Structure 1
Amino acid sequence: MEIKYATTEDITAIAAVEAECFPPAEAATEEEFIERVKYYGNYFWLMYEDRKLIAFVDGFVTDEPDLTDEMYEKAAMHNEDGAWQMIFGVNTLPDYRRHGYAGKLIRRAIDDAKQQGRKGLVLTCKEKLIPYYTKFGFSDEGISDKSTHGNVVWHQMRLVF
């Protein structure tokens, strides 16, 4: 398994994995990933197996303490010197789930954020995934009033260093 950061060469594979992992109303498009990789490709943690993208975690850095829907839409809001690492997506192809790959990528994102001096990480998830993220040290802050992305009820989770 190889973990690397995203470049423009990875965009088609990223969009394909995202489309397989999320319903259309929640999945980012290839065009959105072009913008995201342009602004914060080094905040995509990609896992490849034999030149096939099998999982990735992505998000940007900001001084804003809460994850908002606007952040998904405006890649230029990325602030390289921001205090918080946001996590927008945790994706693993269905055939590769339950092998710890997503966990390995989440731990890598946590380690990178620590090394970069961030305050911590923030993500949103569906209620059924709260126990999964608490295993990594995230705390549930309740239902987000700032994100209804894809018309879904999201819980905001935070990991503070």
Structure 2
Amino acid sequence: MEITNASIEDIDRIEEIATAAFKSTVYYAKPILTTHVEHFPQGFLLAREGKEILGFICGLGARETSIQGWMYEKKARPEENPTTFMGLYLAIDPKYQGKGIGTELLRQAEHLSATLGCTRLTLICEDHLIPLYKKLSYTLDGINALKYGNKTWYDMSIETKK
């Protein structure tokens, strides 16, 4: 498996994975994903096996302590002098889940976070994923204020080192 940066040519497959993994096109619409690829490709990592894209993680550097709604808008851009890398999306094609791909993408994002000078990587997840992230040494920081999909989202974070 190889980890690479996303390009605009990958967007159809990225959208396909997001739709399958999240079972929704509402929050992971192609225009938003395209914006993330175009404006911060360094923070959009793909797991590949040959030419096949297996999954992705996307994030941006910010000075916030938790993920905010503006980070999912078309106008979202990384902030200067970020303190936290915000992991906005982590999606693995369902046929490749359970093979350590998500873990490897997270580890690469943690490394990127430190490279950017951030001291934390923060993400949000649904309650059934909390034990998985805790197993990977993430800390449960509380309930996030976002209300996408009428779901409760939880803040999880990990310290990253330079």
TM-score, normalization by structure 2: 0.91
Q: Provide the residue aligned with 2:4 in structure 1.
A: 4
Q: Which runs of 5+ in 1 are unaligned?
A: none
Q: Provide the residue aligned with 2:121 in structure 1.
A: 121
Q: Provide the residue aligned with 2:152 in structure 1.
A: 153
Match of 2:112, SS state, is helix
Question: Percent sequence identity over matched residues?
Answer: 28
Q: Provide the residue aligned with 1:54 in structure 2.
A: 54
C-alpha distance in 1 between matches for 2:75 and 2:133: 24
State the shift of 1:75 in Å: 4.4
C-alpha distance in 1 between matches for 2:18 and 2:86: 17
Q: Provide the residue aligned with 2:78 in structure 1.
A: 78
Q: Provide the residue aligned with 1:32 in structure 2.
A: 32
C-alpha distance in 1 between matches for 2:74 and 2:119: 22
Match of 1:12, SS state, is helix
Match of 1:38, SS state, is helix
Q: Which runs of 4+ in 1 moved over 3 A?
A: none
Number of residue pairs aligned between Structure 1 and Structure 2: 160
Change in CA separation of 1:93 and 1:18 when aligned onto 2, cut-off 3 Å: same
Q: CA RMSD in A?
A: 1.6
TM-score, normalization by structure 1: 0.92
Q: Which runs of 5+ in 2 are unaligned?
A: none
Q: Provide the residue aligned with 1:66 in structure 2.
A: 66
